[in-house]
Structure 1
Amino acid sequence: MNARRLSFYLVPAAILILFFYFDPLHFAPSISDSAAPPRFTGSQSCIGCHAEFHQKWSTSMHGLSVRAYDSDFAKSFLPSEPWSVVLAGESSRVTIKPGDGVLEERKNDRTSDYAISFAVGGKNVLYFLTELDRGRIQTLPIAYDVRASSWFHTAGANLRHFGQGSGDAPLPWRDRAYTFNNSCYRCHVSQARTSYDPAIDVYSLTWSEPGINCETCHGPAADHIRAFSSRMDSGAHPDLHLISAKRFAPAQSNDLCSPCHAKMLPLTAAYTPGERFFDHFDLVTWEDPDFAADGRDLGENYTMTSWLTSPCRRAKTLTCMHCHTSSGRFRFVNEPDKACLPCHAERVRDAASHSRHAAGTKGAQCISCHMPKSEFARMSRSDHSMRPPTPGVTKKFGSPNACTQCHNEKSASWADSVVRKWHPNDFQRPVLEMSARLEEAKKGVWTRFEDMKRSIGKNGREEVYAASLLRAMRNWPDKQKVEAADIGLKDQSPLVRAAAAQALYGSTGPRVESLLQSAAGDSIRLVRVRAAESYASVAVNVRQQKASDRMIDALNEYVAFLMARPDDHASLYNLGNYYASTGDQKNAISAYERALTLRPEFVSARVNASFAYEAAGRNLEAEQQLRMALSADPWNVAANLNLGLLLAGRGEATDAETRLRAAYTGDTTLAVAAYNLAVLTARYDRNESVRWSMRAVALRPLEPKYVFARAFYLHEAGKEEEAIGVLRAALRDKTSSTDIYGLLGELLESRSSFAEARKVYLQGANDVTIPASERDMLASKAAR
């Protein structure tokens, strides 16, 4: 045997681990204002002609979403007594003094006072803002629960408790997540002008009015006022010179409200009412842990995601304005069943029969069963999916349901049995099946992939479900997902098409190339941006293949999206990923460093920065970044994996093995860790090496180098027959490489099966998936 021929090497010392860091933000409509400020005239200019509406608006939560804080406000809305709390993890006690308009912080024998500048909200909760240095407007750590008339710790109420371990802790109150300039302002003030200088970390934020004023939705009013002032003199009928929702199609009308009522990610810096939502925003769907298996709310999800699943919305005629006034009030607060008219008149007329609850009781109201309320962070919200209760999903997956929210002394099993007795047609079954598929996908279990694939294109499927399922495939390396993405990219929903493009992240091949190039020409910006993101995720796509003009345009849109928010660590992280994929390590390092300046504990950025440093030849800094990541999170899978690979590349086998074992312990789907552990353990235990190589193949059965490794180490362990069987099976399954052909041929030659070996070499020589030079080498072996 030719021992040199059978030698086996590690993969490069570090690999790029790209995590999709979706940082959903609250982002309001912002009229693009390139002309002089006087085009905006303020809400006061509307009173002359629209006094009644102005009065309704000015007392609504839209009009009062931000208010200046003063002694009169404190007397009207807050108790006069101070209230204190010790902030967990911050070693400080804070005391709010409403009458004095200050928050006092005591820490390490030092006392600091923060003046309360503004109050935000008021329907459920009042938050308070203070002005810090560098232009930052910060949310204070104490808020007021309006309904309960009690104070509470702001960050403490935002903790998630969804069985994700005990590591969830309140953020420090000065964290950028609570910086008003960073995200909140666009849904609470009007005609905001903001800037951020990353070189000195300084903000500037001004606005024309607190609250969401008339011109936020209707556009600048100066031309309207001028035209209608002239009309009073001439009697003419001028153009409105305003944006009017009455002229909108239902989808446009709903899109008008969505930016402030969605858990989403902005793609652009400005949205003009009338434009399409998905040209300016992406939407968080059920892949997020704030949603239960069936999409019910577990955390703060706002409205749009559940609204997209509503059968009423899917009829494409119902708009937000049917139930709500433009100032946000519920039109039918005293007679809520009227909200369901005229479409469901037969149900409303006989609500007792339909609901199985006594007429006139709360249980007989349509919204009690179809729009149950949930609470998180002291905020109450209604489920806008309008679906019937499905306690069977509660029983299996723990999802909330309306039955046991009212009958809280009863169990989900009780509610399930009652619902099944009342409705023998088993309307819960499709929801249970959908929930089961999505739960498996979120856990990386793909044994029912064919069923999942079919469900994406199934007639009547939920678009949010299909998008969530496709997004769950993003980090699944199996090539089968391309088939699901192909189905999704033909969908009518831009959300599904964008998710299908995301599913192709990290994928290669002619079919992937064709699908992404086509998606880059989609009419919706979100689809184009996600196609560009997936296209750029594999460096060879950008550096060695010629992108079409439409893909170049999409890549430019993607970069513009990432650069739109220079104060957002997630955007900078993804910008670094993009530069790294193009081979521009200098700019990649700069983007990662800026992300880490904003959020030093951002482990994923340190991991990817280490790759960029190594690619730039700065190996010491690469190792430093990984060790800093592990200092912050000792069991971080990506950091352990990459440090293990880096150390292996340097020949530090023992330490490398320790890190790779830690990575595999944290994620037993890591085929690359199993593969490299097979190489490392071969130093001292061939049977152990065989076991690791088998795990790698089990995880990635179509990866040729893993198949080759398994056969090679079986041979090394003296299991030649088994090795030959593995190689033959691989070739039958069209999993081939020069190494597989070469090793099988040499093993057959070693047992004097020269004719069989020659057939193997000839097969390899004719395998067009192998480079021509390697086919020539196999042909020469066959000719011996």
Structure 2
Amino acid sequence: MSISDREPEKNSVEYPSKSWELSAIIAACIILLTPFVYTWRINASSELLPTTDVEFTGSASCRECHRDAYQKWQGSDHDKAMAEANSETVLGDFSNVSFTDPYTDRISRFFMDNGKYQVETEGPDGKPGIFTITHTFGVYPLQQYLIPFPDGKLQCLSIAWDVEKKAWYRLPPYDVVSHTDWLHWTRGGQTWNGMCAECHSTRLQKNYDMESNSYSTIWFEIDVGCEACHGPGSEHLKWAELPALGRSQLDDFGLVIPTSNVSADQHIMTCAPCHSRRYQLGDNQHKNEGLLDVMVPSLLTEDLYYPDGQIKDEVYVYGSFVQSKMYRHDVRCNDCHDPHTLKLHKKDNALCLQCHRASEYDTPQHHFHKTEYKGKPSEGYLCVKCHMPGRMYMGIDYRPDHSLRIPRPDLSKKLGTPNGCSTSDCHGDKPLDWTIEHYTKWYGETTKPHYGEILAAGREVEENIDQQLIALVNDELLPGIVRATALNLLRNYPGEKTAHTVSNALMSDDPLIRQTAIRLLNQTDEETLLKHVAPKLYDPVKAVRIEAASRLAGIPKEKLRKEDLPTMAATLDEYRTSMEYNADFAPQRYNLGNLENALGNYQNAIEYYLEAINIDDQFIPAKVNLAMGYNNIGKKEQAEQLLREVVTSHPQMHEVTYSLGLLLSESERYEEAAELLGRASDAMPQYSRARYNYGLALLKLKRWEDGAGALHQAILLEPEREEYFITLVNLYLNFRMNDHARALVEEVLALAPDHANAKELLRVMKEHQ
């Protein structure tokens, strides 16, 4: 007899009482979000900034002793990173010329008025206006222009000057056509203070005020000067001004950031705070700090990188370079680039032949290409063409991928990733199979596994890929950024193995892995958090300890050790300060909302979520958590409306579909809830909780057999979860289906031998045989 043919004993089936819960995926919606578009960072002043111990002295103070380095630096991209707009710095044509935007057909006019550089273009209200340009931004291959707005803002005009073609052109993203879009040149996505400034000036202080939504941004030097890399120079200058025999033995001659006789890692850390996709934890003090004390680099996420780690969006070198064999062999930035001119030390293959043997690598037997093809020069023999294929950013700025990888056209076929052979300026006109055929003929068939295959499967939440992701996390020969990315993907595979991997990752030597591990513990029980996360309040790395504090915020103070309370309070203040520093962006307002929610301050949380949406109305996590906030205070209709908006506009966000299903379940609308929960659990096959809640909704509809099937699927995904087992075995017993209950017990014990309830029930069953 099937369950469908039976009726339960009256009032005997126990259904776990469930209040509405957001999915682990949503709740894990990235406290300290990646950062995706937030990688850039007004200044109306170059006043001297106060410092506590050492002071900035300016690049000119270095010139007398370091003439060669100073002369190299002058005229470099760093020197010309930003400047006041004048006849010497402005490269664009302001002779009353017009430019028609090919994507909107809007006409802009560039002209001079009383010595000021002016542009007539679409303004913040969507109507034409005349704006004064006060600063240039960058120098090659394009130059942008900055326009002062109220509240201390400088806005980056979305029409730039192409230096080579000597013409105006429109910057991407090209789909921004409305003045209301966050990425319109007059809106927050193009505000210099938060998006660009920190890497184009020296000792910049952002000074964003949350209450007034205004800036008092100041810098010490308008461009990237000597002290941007070497740190404030007052102690070094004092030392240098002493007679030679009167100079004491100072570490690094009084320099704050040593750049000679340092490890490759230390050297790269000097460049990384700017040359990386990341989010900042505060102003760059230009001191000798660890990388994750200043910022947190982005992982190899789907929006930024291809699954094999090749560059996709604008990621600024660091994240790709640390994947390379060069990095693992202690190659550093200045092995290829002059640190002052920023130019390459040598041209063409001579640069690589500084380390690589010419007789082995600079030969047709290795690269199989000629310097000429059909009477025309060919560049196919160049190392960079195969090993550093690049992408075009900002419309005309070609940037090579610094992961310096061997081309893998086979992965291109499997994963849709780029390869050096199939670029537009090489063999992009040939079918991929043609490329694979020639590659195989030259180098043999490639069978070596690549972590990209596992990351790609993890992105798609393929079944049974969790063990391979765990293997990546535990492989200490792999780059840390790859291991942290694999760890992050395990969020879609909850279970005992993942929990064990996360707890081990908390002990990693790599702070990025530790920080990622803490983020995965978003909905963990209090006991686990107290055991594994509380010790991280004392982590020496800022990004790790503030993440720990945010995770512990919801635990009542009396459950923390008394000796931990002062550290917890101080570290939570660090977290708030870091979030408020970037509160001009939606993710940080959202994070502050999450913190208030954890502390039980639901109305404060709602206000932060609303502020995040006001900044960027396309920031979905804030909408989802706003719905949760509304639900917490009983505004269920508003919560449902928000979730339905997201489900309609982003049907691929299955975790939101799941959350809407849970909300409807709480409102006892089980037919609608079951449909949504079933859809979500099918789309997230590794997420056992979705399948479990789907089963509960089916039981509420008295679809006993379907409900039992869904519960059984949840148990197979996570057999160690006691509540899954208890719910289904209780269902069987109340339907007097003892044989089904016995079979379930044996099945669970085969999968999880230490399952306490299953062992006890089996013992009782044997006693009553």
Fold-level similarity (TM above 0.5): yes
Classify 1:481/1:533 alpha carbon distance in 2 versus 1 (closer, same or farther; 3 Å).
Answer: farther
Q: Which residue of 2 aligns with 1:194?
A: 206
Q: Which residue of 2 aligns with 1:454?
A: 471
The DSSP-based 3-state class of the residue aligned with 2:192 is: coil
Counterparts in 2 of 1:608-687, with a 5 A limit?
608-616=625-633, 622=639, 626=643, 637-657=654-674, 660=677, 663-664=680-681, 667=684, 671-682=688-699, 683=701, 685-687=703-705
Classify 1:393/1:347 alpha carbon distance in 2 versus 1 (closer, same or farther; 3 Å).
Answer: farther
Q: Which residue of 2 aligns with 1:394?
A: 412
Q: Which residue of 1 aligns with 2:317?
A: 303
1:337 to 344, 349, 359: 349
The DSSP-based 3-state class of the residue aligned with 1:126 is: strand
Structure 2: how far apart are the matches of 1:298 and 1:180? 23
Structure 1: how far apart are the matches of 2:499 and 2:289? 31
1:286 to 294, 300, 305: 300
Superposition deviation, residue 601 in structure 1: 3.9
Instruction: Indicate if the aligned counterparts of 2:90 and 2:136 stay in contact, CA closer than 8 A.
Output: no
Classify 1:108/1:573 alpha carbon distance in 2 versus 1 (closer, same or farther; 3 Å).
Answer: closer
Superposition deviation, residue 96 in structure 1: 4.3
Q: Which residue of 2 aligns with 1:421?
A: 441
Structure 2: how far apart are the matches of 1:294 and 1:149? 37
Q: Which residue of 1 aligns with 2:542?
A: 525
Q: Which residue of 2 aligns with 1:203?
A: 215
Counterparts in 2 of 1:704-719, with a 5 A limit?
704-711=722-729
Q: Which residue of 1 aligns with 2:3?
A: none
1:85 to 101, 117, 122: 101
Structure 2: how far apart are the matches of 1:256 and 1:477? 37
Structure 1: how far apart are the matches of 2:267 and 2:152? 35
Superposition deviation, residue 241 in structure 1: 3.9
Instruction: Indicate if the aligned counterparts of 2:407 and 2:421 stay in contact, CA closer than 8 A.
Output: yes
Q: Which residue of 1 aligns with 2:79?
A: 63
Q: Does 1:368 align with 2:385?
A: yes
Mean Cα deviation higher: 253-262 or 573-582: 573-582
Q: Which residue of 2 aligns with 1:327?
A: 340
Superposition deviation, residue 63 in structure 1: 0.8
Mean Cα deviation higher: 500-509 or 267-276: 500-509
Structure 1: how far apart are the matches of 2:453 and 2:438? 22
Superposition deviation, residue 296 in structure 1: 0.9
CA deviations on 1:321-374 (whole Å, 9 max, x unpaired) are: 1211223522335x3333335432355784444323347963333333222322
Structure 2: how far apart are the matches of 1:717 and 1:95? 76
Aligned AA (1:463): G
The DSSP-based 3-state class of the residue aligned with 1:190 is: coil
Q: Which residue of 2 aligns with 1:101?
A: 118
Structure 2: how far apart are the matches of 1:620 and 1:11? 19
CA deviations on 1:664-702 (whole Å, 9 max, x unpaired) are: 576555544443443334436444434444454455444
Structure 1: how far apart are the matches of 2:192 and 2:53? 23
Stretches of structure 1 lacking an aligned partner (at least 5 in a row): 160-168, 746-753, 761-784
The DSSP-based 3-state class of the residue aligned with 1:22 is: coil
The DSSP-based 3-state class of the residue aligned with 1:193 is: coil
Mean Cα deviation higher: 142-151 or 545-554: 545-554
Superposition deviation, residue 293 in structure 1: 1.9
Structure 2: how far apart are the matches of 1:38 and 1:515? 38
Mean Cα deviation higher: 390-399 or 36-45: 36-45
Q: Does 1:756 align with 2:765?
A: yes
The DSSP-based 3-state class of the residue aligned with 2:501 is: helix
Aligned residues: 729
Instruction: Indicate if the aligned counterparts of 1:265 and 1:281 stay in contact, CA closer than 8 A.
Output: yes
Superposition deviation, residue 61 in structure 1: 0.7
Classify 1:556/1:201 alpha carbon distance in 2 versus 1 (closer, same or farther; 3 Å).
Answer: closer
Structure 1: how far apart are the matches of 2:558 and 2:678? 33
Structure 2: how far apart are the matches of 1:190 and 1:158? 33
Structure 1: how far apart are the matches of 2:442 and 2:572? 54
Stretches of structure 2 lacking an aligned partner (at least 5 in a row): 1-7, 373-377
Instruction: Indicate if the aligned counterparts of 1:703 and 1:735 stay in contact, CA closer than 8 A.
Output: no
Q: TM-score w.r.t. structure 2 length?
A: 0.82
Structure 1: how far apart are the matches of 2:526 and 2:626? 27
Structure 2: how far apart are the matches of 1:576 and 1:106? 32
Classify 1:420/1:490 alpha carbon distance in 2 versus 1 (closer, same or farther; 3 Å).
Answer: farther
The DSSP-based 3-state class of the residue aligned with 1:112 is: strand
Aligned AA (1:115): T
Instruction: Indicate if the aligned counterparts of 1:189 and 1:209 stay in contact, CA closer than 8 A.
Output: yes
Q: Which residue of 2 aligns with 1:121?
A: 138
Q: Which residue of 1 aligns with 2:151?
A: 134
Superposition deviation, residue 225 in structure 1: 4.5
Structure 1: how far apart are the matches of 2:58 and 2:442? 55
The DSSP-based 3-state class of the residue aligned with 1:410 is: coil
Q: Which residue of 1 aligns with 2:481?
A: 464
Superposition deviation, residue 250 in structure 1: 2.6
Q: Which residue of 2 aligns with 1:408?
A: 428
Structure 2: how far apart are the matches of 1:226 and 1:545? 48
Classify 1:98/1:387 alpha carbon distance in 2 versus 1 (closer, same or farther; 3 Å).
Answer: farther
Structure 1: how far apart are the matches of 2:370 and 2:87? 48
Instruction: Indicate if the aligned counterparts of 2:385 and 2:420 stay in contact, CA closer than 8 A.
Output: yes
Superposition deviation, residue 26 in structure 1: 3.2
Q: Which residue of 2 aligns with 1:381?
A: 399
CA deviations on 1:11-41 (whole Å, 9 max, x unpaired) are: 103436311132254368x999543899434
Structure 1: how far apart are the matches of 2:578 and 2:744? 47
Instruction: Indicate if the aligned counterparts of 1:74 and 1:80 stay in contact, CA closer than 8 A.
Output: no
Superposition deviation, residue 307 in structure 1: 1.1
The DSSP-based 3-state class of the residue aligned with 2:212 is: coil
Aligned AA (1:40): F
Counterparts in 2 of 1:107-186, with a 5 A limit?
110-157=127-174, 171-186=183-198
Structure 2: how far apart are the matches of 1:473 and 1:78? 54
* RMSD between superposed Cα atoms in Å: 4.1
Classify 1:732/1:535 alpha carbon distance in 2 versus 1 (closer, same or farther; 3 Å).
Answer: farther
Aligned AA (1:12): S
Aligned AA (1:401): N
The DSSP-based 3-state class of the residue aligned with 2:143 is: strand
What's the % identity of the aligned pairs? 23
Structure 1: how far apart are the matches of 2:652 and 2:379? 50
2:231 to 219, 236, 243: 219
Instruction: Indicate if the aligned counterparts of 1:679 and 1:689 stay in contact, CA closer than 8 A.
Output: yes
Mean Cα deviation higher: 472-481 or 253-262: 472-481
Q: TM-score w.r.t. structure 1 length?
A: 0.81
Aligned AA (1:420): T
CA deviations on 1:108-146 (whole Å, 9 max, x unpaired) are: 994322222222223233222212222221122222333
The DSSP-based 3-state class of the residue aligned with 1:252 is: helix
Mean Cα deviation higher: 486-495 or 383-392: 486-495
Instruction: Indicate if the aligned counterparts of 1:369 and 1:388 stay in contact, CA closer than 8 A.
Output: yes
Aligned AA (1:528): R
Q: Which residue of 2 aligns with 1:438?
A: 455
Q: Which residue of 2 aligns with 1:15?
A: 22
Superposition deviation, residue 710 in structure 1: 4.0
Instruction: Indicate if the aligned counterparts of 1:278 and 1:525 stay in contact, CA closer than 8 A.
Output: yes
Classify 1:251/1:98 alpha carbon distance in 2 versus 1 (closer, same or farther; 3 Å).
Answer: farther
Structure 2: how far apart are the matches of 1:109 and 1:373? 36
Instruction: Indicate if the aligned counterparts of 1:474 and 1:505 stay in contact, CA closer than 8 A.
Output: no
Mean Cα deviation higher: 373-382 or 681-690: 681-690
Q: Which residue of 1 aligns with 2:375?
A: none
Q: Does 1:572 align with 2:589?
A: yes
CA deviations on 1:549-571 (whole Å, 9 max, x unpaired) are: 39736555444433432323212
Structure 1: how far apart are the matches of 2:141 and 2:184? 23
Q: Which residue of 2 aligns with 1:242?
A: 255
Instruction: Indicate if the aligned counterparts of 1:543 and 1:582 stay in contact, CA closer than 8 A.
Output: no
Superposition deviation, residue 147 in structure 1: 4.2
Superposition deviation, residue 295 in structure 1: 0.8
